[in-house]
Amino acid sequence: MTGLSSIGLDVGGTFTKAALVAGSGRVLREARLPTRPEEGPAAFVGRVMELLSGWKASGARPAALGLGIAGDVDSEKGLLRFSPNLRGWEGYPFKEKLARQLALPCVLENDANAAVYGAYVVELHRRPRHVVGVTLGTGVGGGLILNGRLYVGATGSAGEVGHTRVAFPGEKCHCGARGCLEAYAGSYGLARSARRLLAARPQEGAILRRLCPDLGSLEPRHLSEAARRGDRLAREVWRGAGEKLAIGLANLVLVLNPDAILLLGGVSRAGRWLLEPVRDALAHQSFRTPFDRAVVRLARPDGGRVGAALLALELASRQGGR
Amino acid sequence: MTGLSSIGLDVGGTFTKAALVAGSGRVLREARLPTRPEEGPAAFVGRVMELLSGWKASGARPAALGLGIAGDVDSEKGLLRFSPNLRGWEGYPFKEKLARQLALPCVLENDANAAVYGAYVVELHRRPRHVVGVTLGTGVGGGLILNGRLYVGATGSAGEVGHTRVAFPGEKCHCGARGCLEAYAGSYGLARSARRLLAARPQEGAILRRLCPDLGSLEPRHLSEAARRGDRLAREVWRGAGEKLAIGLANLVLVLNPDAILLLGGVSRAGRWLLEPVRDALAHQSFRTPFDRAVVRLARPDGGRVGAALLALELASRQGGR
């Protein structure tokens, strides 16, 4: 399949990132188009078709197309069941419409699943059999590769790592519950922890305060940069998030006994400030065999469109290709 | 394969339960032999061979043999890595020895995995694709059926549900950590909770106190019987355990999105006293799709030897049978 290419789309609430991707995961060509959710899914599909006509006119011959979308995706039927950022798109038969218009095999998948699959192919060249991926962005999601294949569960909802509980009663989560991993390791949870510490300790966090004078707009990148420059309060925020992340990951290791854990997404760019407390905590578990096996790695956060393209290509190859 | 039969052994620290099992899971013949861990694994294999010679002499023609053992099992190599109840048995090549002496395909598997597989075949006739099984005994274990097959993970350690964390810092667990599900839903955790409530409320729990005057020997069956007879304190103990179990199960539903959850083992005989708080908690989760899908069921606690036999039979059928 390495000679073939595939189209991957990462559909966000504002922009959609598109790429023509080789079987190796290399991006051959890319573009960005506005999603405009308010115009509805049919108009969106029209804009995608227009972009792809242009690519085809200049010689692109994709073998498949994959869409990654944030939300509750029914990948079998190829539609969205629910998506907070794409209201009104629920139930639209994306897979069927695109497959017919393009005459190509199409795949619709949850964006976290797509990103994890992309990172699995691109980052882990030896393709271990069992990999858990956790996407750390505004929210926290996840995807599972079991026996070398994306595992989506009974309704396509598997991998909702961000809403597993790591504290009781715990902080409020965007989902309405308390104590979810996302409430600590998602970017809004990190910002909340940082603002709370800064308010409680007016003498500390000088570097962080200088980097981000308006604390209302605090982002993980400010916390990473402050930690890198030696800000102890910022490092404490990362340590706190890392410890909660480790609780969630330890539960995953005990249940799934993976070969590797991949951390993806913007928050994972914090690198060692996040990774060290995670590795520390995982090294102190009672059950050695599964914890000794599971390697924790950061993956470059490129994933969604590449993963969607590769999932589609995998489907095409299983169907005998085109 | 339904015409074939298979031998299943459930190896405990004191006794080993053996059965000749049909492909349907029906027990055709059974026996119990002392395990005698102190005599070593070779002597144990000798006693097993003796039992099976007797069965063969009276016409049994098993197609395979499966062993379920509590502990950290390397099912690929067919040996025990670690078992608290069978010290000195680590590293002994059970699978190889038995396969050679019996000239049959043999399987060695963790006892919880075997029990869950047995319950899956026997209890769920429609064989849903994805099932999570939780064994509630002295300890709490688990097993995963994914895509219709037992999933054991990278080192055969998958399904350690009992040591996922459901409280912080939480009660002490036998594994050395705190807050594990087992510390609440295992029989020692239940007895601890009950004794604590009884000590704090000398006016309550009259039925339970009558059923079990020596609180040092309190067991789940006393708590079930007291709850059935209307003892409010006993019902409160079950409710507390059920709520913790629900936290662990909710995490599993979010990650694995199963079709069904099976509860097995002695503690699960409590029936509704345990099941109602679990179902209540699962009905109040933010993410509806996976929780609406996952059915929670109690399975009869027969499983270990039946499951081990059926796993062995499945292997034999994949290898072309004998």
- For residue B319, name the pLDDT band (cuts at 50, 70, 90): confident
CB spacing of A154 vs B252 below 8 angstroms: no
**pLDDT, tens only, B228-282:** 999 999 999 999 999 999 999 999 999 999 999 999 987 777 888 999 999 999 9
The two structure tokens encoding residue B224 = 């079930």
Residues of chain B positioned with their CB less than 8 A from the CB of A247: 165, 168
- Residue A241's φ and ψ, nearest 5 degrees, are -65, -40
Confidence (pLDDT) at A21: 96
Residue-wise over A186-211: b if at least 16 C-beta within 10 A, else e? bbbbbbbbbeebbeeeeebbebbbeb
CA distance A19 to A65: 10
With a CB-CB cutoff of 8 Å, which residues 79-118 of chain A face chain B?
81-82
Half-sphere exposure of A217 (CA within 13 A, CB side): 5
Distance from CA of B218 to the nearest CA of A (A): 27
For range A156-181, the mean pLDDT: 94
Q: How many CB pairs under 8 A join A and B?
A: 137
pLDDT beyond 80 at B166: yes
Q: Are the beta carbons of A258 and B159 separated by less than 8 Å?
A: no
Asked if residue A303 has pLDDT above 90, the reply is: no
pLDDT of B289 > 60? The answer is: yes
Is there a contact between A160 and B128 if contact means CB atoms under 8 Å apart? no
ipTM score = 0.93
Q: Reply yes or no on whether the pLDDT at A109 is more than 50.
A: yes
Determine the pLDDT at residue B154: 96
Is any Cβ of chain B less than 8 angstroms from the Cβ of A287? yes
Q: Which two tokens stand for residue A106?
A: 């199409």
- Predicted pLDDT at B322: 40
pLDDT number for residue B126: 84
Average pLDDT, chain A: 93
Is the Cα dihedral A134, A137, A138, A143 positive or negative?
Answer: negative
In angstroms, the CA B70 to CA B87 distance is: 12
Whether residues A142 and B294 touch (CB distance < 8 A) is answered with no
Q: How far apart are CA A237 and CA A258, in angstroms?
A: 28
- Write the secondary structure of chain B as one string of H (helix), E (strand) and C (coil): CCCCEEEEEEECCCEEEEEEEECCCCEEEEEEEECCHHHCHHHHHHHHHHHHHHHHHCCCCCCCEEEEECCEEECCCCEEEECCCCCCCCCCCHHHHHHHHHCCCEEEEEHHHHHHHHHHHHHCCCCCCCEEEEEECCCEEEEEEECCEEECCCCCCCCCHHHCECCCCCCECCCCCECECHHHHCHHHHHHHHHHHHHHCCCCCHHHHHHCCCHHHCCHHHHHHHHHCCCHHHHHHHHHHHHHHHHHHHHHHHHHCCCEEEEECHHHHHCHHHHHHHHHHHCCCCCHHHHHHCEEEECCCCHHHHHHHHHHHHHHHHCCCC
Quickly count: other Cβ atoms within 10 Å of residue B95's Cβ.
22
The residue ranking higher by pLDDT, A304 or A312, is: A312
Chain A contact probe: residue of B157, B178, B255 with most A CBs at under 10 A: B255
Q: Is the CB of residue B178 less than 8 Å away from at least one CB of chain A?
A: no
Instruction: Measure CA B197 to chain center.
Output: 28
DSSP-assigned beta bridge partners for residue A109: A68
* Confidence (pLDDT) at B321: 44
Question: If you count them, how many residues does chain A have?
Answer: 322
Question: Residue A146: its chain B contacts at CB < 8 A?
Answer: 146, 151
B34 — pLDDT class (breaks 50, 70, 90): very high
The residues near B192 (Cβ < 8 Å, ≥ 6 apart) are B171
Smallest Cβ distance to B293: which of A151, A154, A289?
A154
Q: Is A293 on the interface with B (CB under 8 A)?
A: yes
Single-letter residue type at A262: L
pLDDT at A301 over 70: no
* B169: preceding bond cis by omega (within 30 degrees): yes
- Across the interface, which of A152, A251, A259 has its CB nearest the CB of B154? A259
Q: What is the distance between the alpha carbons of residues B22 and B61, in angstroms, rounded to a whole number?
A: 11
Interatomic CA distance for residues A277 and A243, integer angstroms: 6
Residue A302: is its pLDDT beyond 70? no
Token pair belonging to B37: 């861990």
DSSP codes, A139-208: SEEEEEEETTEEE--SSS----GGGSB-SSS--B-TTS-BSBTHHHHSHHHHHHHHHHHHHH-TTS-HHH
Q: Are A254 and B290 within 8 A, CB to CB?
A: no
